[in-house]
Amino acid sequence: VSDAENWFCECPKLYSGKLCQFASCDENPCGNGATCFPKSRKDAVCLCPYGRSGILCSEAINISQPSFSGTDVFGYTSFLAYSAIPNIIFYYEFRLKFQLANHHSALQDNLIFFTGQKGQGLNGDDFLELGLRNGRVVYSYNLGSGTATIISKPLDLTLNIHVIHLGRYLQKGWLKVDDQKNRTVTSPGRLVGLNVFSQFYLGGYREYTPELLPKGSRFKNSFHGCIFDVQVRTSMNQEFKSPETPEGHPNSGRSVGQCKDSPCSLIKCRNGGKCIESGSTVYCDCLTGWKGAFCTETVSVCEPEHNPPHLCKQGGTCVPLPKGYTCHCPLGTTGTYCEQG
């Protein structure tokens, strides 16, 4: 049945939902807003909302590092939903870390996060999403005039935790995974703004069926494993923050548990770096001269993080040499460090 914009299925008895995918749970025994699923005509299963567990979802659990269980036998995904992220039209940066439940889950087709226009599935739908496909990280966005996609190199599966940093300014996007090189892309067409109004979904989505999400964002399964420390900022001079106010508290969720391991037991910081954990945040604090997710990248003598800093003065450009560096001086200056007029 359809009128101009909205279509729906007229369902036979016992079934409901946009695609008639739910059998009825008339005498719902589940508590606390759980999703009831009729396992048979007599038996129901309760899929617990965020912060609850147990057969009838009556027990409260505290979740600081969510663990996602993938897609269950009934076809539901585990997920967390946060309010729509404000101000990501022209600029955003996201950081997060994840641990796979098993390597098999990396080699399939798993959603990490998604926000976008729902439902019409047209090519012009704006969306932003991140997932895993065939052991690589896939980052896609569509500003309404075509999809841009960056695919990382295969993940190093000997690492317990993977670190992702991605962003976009107008049409230009970039992705950095673990200690792989930064990769960039420019979205096609002429549009420069990301207009998304849906919630920010982590690990999966509320919809029963991926078919209801926009084309180009069809990760078949939800995430299987733990996700730590999701942070976002929408301008370069902002601090990174967890989504949602109060920070880090989702609006809703389903079938999400607490991760068993502490993230620092999983991260190996190299070259003398120390793992620091505070709440749900975890990172490697590197010794002087090292940087990167696991302190494996060297700081060039010309980078601002280098200690001691380079000595080029008056707008001189530092250029690294095999040993040391030299200063390229702007017009009107001279000397080793451009210190003379």
Give the side-chain half-sphere CA count within 13 A for 46.
19
Q: Is the pLDDT of residue 312 over 60?
A: yes
Q: What is the secondary structure of 275-326 as a DSSP string?
A: EEEETTEEEEEPPTTEESTTS-EEPPTTSTT-SSPP---TTPEEEE-SSSEE
**Among candidate residues 86, 82, 113, the one with its CA nearest the CA of residue 235:** 86
More confident of the two residues 195 and 220 = 195
pTM of the complete model: 0.78
- Going along the chain from its start, the domains and CATH numbers come out as 84-243 (2.60.120.200), 306-340 (2.10.25.10)
Tokens representing residue 324 in the block: 């040391």
Tokens representing residue 323 in the block: 């040993």
Mean predicted confidence (pLDDT) in 189-201 = 89
Q: Is the pLDDT of residue 271 over 50?
A: yes
The beta strand positions in 143-267, using DSSP E, are 147-151, 162-169, 172-177, 183-186, 200-202, 221-222, 224-233, 252-254, 256-258
Are the C-beta atoms of 218 and 14 separated by less than 8 Å? no
d(CA 214, CA 198): 12
pLDDT digits (tens, 9 = 90+) for 151-164: 999 999 889 899 99
User: Which of 87-91, 116-120, 144-148, 158-162 bottoms out in mean pLDDT, i.e. has the lowest?
Assistant: 116-120
Percent of the chain with pLDDT over 70: 84
d(CA 294, CA 250): 29
Are the C-beta atoms of 217 and 114 separated by less than 8 Å? yes
pLDDT at 119: 45
Burial of residue 216 (CB within 10 Å: 0-12, 13-18, 19+) is: middle
